[in-house]
Amino acid sequence: MTSRKMGFRVALPCALLLAAMCAYAGPQAKERAPRFNAKTMDGEKFTNETTKGKVILLEFWTTWCPYCFTEAPFVDKINQEYGDKGLLVLTINVGESKKTVKKYLDQHPRKTRIILTDDTNLAAMYEAVEYPIYVVIDKDGNIAATQRGAAGEEALRDLLATAGIGPKDKAESK
């Protein structure tokens, strides 16, 4: 057997195993959202109980992530657009100090509720290790959709539509 064929026989199972592990990392869509506690930098507190009846968009981000920076304006726009229509946007900065986040926000203000890792258990529950990550929780407390990585405003709006926020198809939005 050639070394090329041997390499393929080893690489393929490893790739499949890795893909399977990634597919099942963290809570999945259509299951109950894990119990959480979160406190914003302004002192607001949120739990599963206090958010009942609302659709929740969780955005996991960091100050050093260029994709997070690019997507922040439309996350803020969606927050303003649907904030009084049953959407609660919580943006969770992962792994950075309050001082670092405050300095960043002084230069790049956000219009969302900012939560630090020290003030929540959300980042661990959703295995936030690449950014941005979006999780949509429906009004019943179930995970409606998740997205790992940046995909643009339209993709984020599509995620929210799975939980009943905004138009369900492009024809309705035009």
Q: What is the CATH number of the domain that holds 95?
A: 3.40.30.10
pLDDT band at 168; cut points 50, 70, 90: low
- Write down the mean pLDDT value for the chain: 83
Answer for the pair 59, 92: CB distance below 8 angstroms, yes or no: yes
> What distance in Å separates the CA atoms of residue 61 and residue 71, rounded to the nearest whole number?
10
Question: Tens of pLDDT along 21-38?
Answer: 444 344 555 788 999 999
- Least confident residue range of 39-48, 49-58, 151-160, 165-174: 165-174
Is the Cβ–Cβ distance between 54 and 141 less than 8 Å?
A: no
Q: Considering the domain boundaries, does residue 76 fall inside one?
A: yes
Within a domain: 1 = no
Q: Is residue 14 part of a domain?
A: no
Distances (CA, A) of 118 to 41, 97, 132: 10, 9, 18
Each residue of 99-154: pLDDT tens digit?
999 999 999 999 999 999 988 888 888 888 889 999 999 999 999 999 999 999 99
Instruction: Determine the residue type at 93.
Output: N
> How many CA atoms lie less than 13 Å away from 130 in the CB half-sphere?
7
Whether 109 is in a domain gets the answer: yes
Could you tell me if residue 41 is inside a domain? yes
Residue 129: domain span? 28-173
Rounded CA separation 112/115 (Å):
10
Sign of CA dihedral 100, 151, 167, 165: negative
Structural domain total, the chain: 1
Secondary structure, 3-state, 52-101: CCCEEEEEEECCCCHHHHHHHHHHHHHHHHHCCCCEEEEEEECCCCHHHH
Does residue 74 form part of some domain?
A: yes
- For residue 35, being part of any structural domain is answered with yes
Residue 17 lies in a domain: no
pLDDT at 129: 87
